[in-house]
Each structure stands twice: as structure tokens, then as C-alpha cells.
């Protein structure tokens, strides 16, 4: 009996030591998840595999967004040719708040692997030496925290890990590679589907019901004057600090530049709205590409009211968000009011390059205009 009790004590001590080691490793940034990646040329494709491994003694739920786990839908990798960065030519997807379907379970000691085709979002022009670096973050929750708070999942505080992995490879015959998806999509708008808007040039439509087109047109009509109003409102004040952080002339110039790019783009280009393309996902508002004059609209977009409002989204706000990507070349660093405000406080340079920050500021600037 004494021998058995001694064994129990030893086992408990060993478990405690293991948890202590795991905790120390976690503090050092090496726990609880690791990332391994590998890239190679496969005939006319550049293919990368990403393996996330759970090093801990408990299960976790990983948020798939902005990681390889959801596919190449965001710039979580950086590609360079002789130290020159290649432009990300992939989609910028505007999604609703996370749901349980946006998470995937990874059990203790297990791995999850995902393979992506890099030239779906990057254009390779020359043979030679390339580097592919993973630059994204991974958000996760313990299985217990996730399942205990699943009814309030959109308000849960997620833990975050940053990874930095890089692969070098030699590519040849890149002229035979397929182009990014954006350049493979052929869009044709019929003359009868073009709506001429008084304050902007025009807006064309592909798909959608008459009601959906009418409501989208109403929101679109607000954008040119609304962008100029937001641009003129940029100054060193509380509204600016709330959404873009500490004021500086350089950052303020960037904010003005984006709103000007939206107004200018809508005026000089024929904006097109592709309503419910086949590859929309249930939790998407829409998506677009850098330099595109097309915004693709999904189901969630049509669940919102037309015009800006203080609490909640709107069609108008979503369109500003999407055109800030297409014409203003913004990123998606943070979403949701809480996280966008936090981004402004901690990382003002990221805030002035964050699509949703422009959405919030635009609508609040309209409130000031209406009051005055």
C-alpha cells in the first residue's frame, strides 16, 4: 500500500512538472501550437503545405480565418523575388462575426495539415529564387472555454500566437503558371444592367433581384458625397483618435488618401456589383480585389439596412469597406467595434490601413454632418 501511494505521489509530481514545463514554454512563445511549412514547384503550380501541431496536453479550437485552414483568402504569406515583394492578388473577404463553424478542433498531440496553391493569389513573372514567408497570426481557445462560451462566441477573447516561418525555393518555367483567380474571372455587364448615378459615374449589376439592385443603388448613391464628407472631416480630434489612433500628419494624409481614392474610383470607373456569385459562403458580406472595379455581394449584405446606423452594420458601410480595399488598398487587420478601437489605440499605422476602420469613421462622420 505504501509503495502504491508513493507511486501515486511520484506520478502527480511528474504531471505537475510537465505542466510547469509547458507553462514556461508557453511564456517563451513556443507553446501550445507549432507550425511547420514546406513549399515546392509542382509542374505549373507553387504548392505549400502548412501543418499546425498541438504541443499541449489539452484540446484547442483554432479559428480558421486568415490562416491556411480556410484557404488562400487573405495575405497570411509574403512572397519575395530577390527580396522584392510580390503583390497579393487574392481576395479580401468581408465576413460576419465568427461562428462555431469558423473553428476547428485540434486534439492534444495531434496535427492539422492544409495545402494551398500559391499562384492562386500571387503572380510569378520570372524564373529564379523566391522566398515564401508565413506572416499571419493564429487565434485559438481551449476546448473548455470554447464549449462553455459557445452561445457568446462573438464576444469571447481569443488567444493569439504569431508565427514566422520562411521557405526558399528555385522556380523555373514560371511563364506556364496559371494566373491568380482574379485574372481568370471574366465579367461582362449588359447595358440594360447599368444604373447611372447622379453623384458618381454609374453602377452596373450582375445577378440579383430588382429589390436587391434598388437597395444596393440607394447605398451606392451615398458613397461619393459620403467619402468627400469623411475626407473633409479628418482632423486632430476625438473622432479621429477613436478609429485611427494617435494623430500624425502622415497617418492623417493616408486616411484622406483612401477616402479620395474611393471617391475618385467611383467617379472615373464603372463600379460593378456582382450579386451572390456561386462561391459566396453563408457568413460572408462580400469580397473584392485590389485595383478591381467589382465588388461581389453575398447573403449577409442583404440582411442589413441600406443606410449607416450607429448600432450595427449597413449596406452603405459594407460598400465603403469593400471599396477601401479595391481603390484604397487597405488590409483586414481587425473587425468589430471593440477590436477596431483596440487596433487604433495600439497600432495606429495598422488602423489607417484597416478596411473596417474606414467603415466606422465614414458612418460616424455622416452623423456629425447631419447634426450640423
Instruction: Give the CATH number, domain containing residue 80.
Output: 2.60.40.2970
Do 208 and 220 contact (CB within 8 A), yes or no?
no
Q: What is the pLDDT of residues 106-134, one digit of tens each?
A: 999 999 999 999 999 999 999 999 999 99
pLDDT the model gives residue 30: 60
| Mean pLDDT across the chain | 87
Judged by average pLDDT, the poorest of 96-100, 259-263, 321-325 is: 96-100
Interacting residues of 22 by C-beta distance below 8 A, sequence separation 6+: 31, 32, 55, 56, 57
Higher pLDDT, 195 or 359: 359
Residue 337 within a domain: yes
pLDDT the model gives residue 180: 84
Question: Quick one: what percent of the chain has pLDDT higher than 90?
Answer: 68
Judged by average pLDDT, the poorest of 10-24, 70-84, 128-142, 213-227 is: 10-24
Domain shared by 124 and 225, yes or no = no
Domain shared by 246 and 156, yes or no = no
Rounded Cα gap, residues 299 and 9, in angstroms: 58
> In this model, does residue 181 exceed pLDDT 90?
no
- Among 337, 329, 321, 338, which Cα is nearest to 284's? 321
Domain shared by 165 and 312, yes or no = no
Number of neighbours of residue 51 by Cβ within 10 angstroms? 15
Residue 366 within a domain: yes
Question: Could you tell me the pLDDT band of residue 372, with boundaries at 50, 70 and 90?
Answer: very low
Q: What is the pLDDT of residues 278-295, one digit of tens each?
A: 999 999 999 999 999 999
Domain shared by 241 and 295, yes or no = yes
Q: What is the pLDDT of residues 256-276, one digit of tens each?
A: 999 999 999 998 888 999 999
Number of domains in the chain: 2
Q: What is the CA radius of gyration of the chain?
A: 24
Residue 286 within a domain: yes
Q: Which helix (H) or strand (E) holds 187?
A: none
Question: Quick one: what percent of the chain has pLDDT higher than 70?
Answer: 84
Question: Could you tell me the pLDDT band of residue 50, with boundaries at 50, 70 and 90?
Answer: very high
Give the domain CATH number at 333: 3.40.390.10
pLDDT the model gives residue 43: 86
pLDDT the model gives residue 74: 92
By residue range, what is the domain housing residue 241? 204-370
Question: Could you tell me the pLDDT band of residue 71, with boundaries at 50, 70 and 90?
Answer: very high
Mean pLDDT of 347-360: 97
Do 262 and 323 contact (CB within 8 A), yes or no?
yes
C-alpha 310: how far from chain center: 23
Mean pLDDT of 71-82: 93
Name the DSSP class of 29: T
> In this model, does residue 192 exceed pLDDT 70?
no
State the pTM of this model. Answer: 0.85
Domain shared by 169 and 82, yes or no = yes
Do 44 and 65 contact (CB within 8 A), yes or no?
no
Q: Considering 122, 156, 176, which residue would you say is the last residue of a domain?
A: 176
Amino acid at each position: 500500500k505504501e509503495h502504491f501511494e508513493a507511486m501515486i505521489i511520484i506520478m502527480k509530481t511528474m504531471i505537475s512538472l510537465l505542466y510547469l514545463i509547458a507553462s514556461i514554454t508557453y511564456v517563451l512563445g513556443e507553446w501550445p501550437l507549432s507550425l511547420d511549412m514546406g513549399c515546392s514547384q509542382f509542374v505549373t503550380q507553387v504548392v505549400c503545405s502548412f501543418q499546425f501541431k498541438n504541443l499541449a496536453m489539452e484540446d484547442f479550437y483554432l479559428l480558421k480565418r486568415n490562416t491556411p485552414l480556410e484557404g488562400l483568402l487573405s495575405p497570411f504569406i509574403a512572397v519575395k523575388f530577390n527580396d522584392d515583394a510580390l503583390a497579393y492578388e487574392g481576395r479580401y473577404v468581408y465576413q460576419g462575426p465568427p461562428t462555431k463553424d469558423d473553428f476547428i478542433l485540434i486534439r492534444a498531440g495531434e496535427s492539422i495539415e492544409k495545402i494551398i496553391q500559391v499562384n492562386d493569389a500571387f503572380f510569378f513573372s520570372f524564373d529564379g529564387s523566391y522566398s515564401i514567408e508565413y506572416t499571419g497570426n493564429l487565434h485559438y481557445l481551449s476546448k473548455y472555454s470554447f464549449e462553455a462560451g459557445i452561445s457568446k462566441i462573438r464576444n469571447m477573447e481569443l488567444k493569439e500566437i504569431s508565427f514566422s516561418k520562411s521557405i526558399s525555393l528555385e522556380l523555373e518555367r514560371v511563364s506556364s503558371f496559371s494566373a491568380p483567380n482574379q485574372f481568370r474571372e471574366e465579367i461582362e455587364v449588359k447595358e440594360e444592367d447599368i444604373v447611372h448615378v447622379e453623384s458618381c459615374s454609374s453602377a452596373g449589376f450582375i445577378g440579383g433581384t430588382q429589390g436587391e439592385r434598388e437597395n444596393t443603388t440607394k447605398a451606392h448613391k451615398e458613397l461619393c458625397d459620403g467619402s468627400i464628407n469623411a475626407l473633409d472631416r479628418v482632423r486632430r480630434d476625438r473622432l479621429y483618435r477613436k478609429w485611427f489612433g494617435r494623430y500624425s500628419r502622415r497617418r492623417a494624409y493616408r486616411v484622406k488618401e483612401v477616402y479620395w481614392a474611393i471617391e475618385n474610383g467611383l467617379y472615373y470607373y464603372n463600379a460593378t456589383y456582382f450579386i451572390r456569385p456561386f462561391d459566396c459562403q453563408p457568413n460572408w458580406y462580400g469580397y473584392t480585389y485590389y485595383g478591381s472595379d467589382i465588388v461581389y455581394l453575398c447573403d449577409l449584405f442583404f440582411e442589413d439596412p441600406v443606410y449607416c446606423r450607429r448600432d450595427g452594420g449597413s449596406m452603405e458601410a459594407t460598400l465603403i469597406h469593400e471599396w477601401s480595399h479595391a481603390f484604397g488598398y487597405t488590409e483586414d487587420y481587425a473587425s468589430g467595434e471593440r477590436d477596431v478601437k483596440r487596433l487604433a489605440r495600439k497600432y495606429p499605422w495598422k488602423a489607417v490601413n484597416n478596411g473596417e476602420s474606414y467603415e466606422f469613421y465614414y458612418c460616424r462622420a455622416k452623423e456629425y454632418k447631419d447634426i450640423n
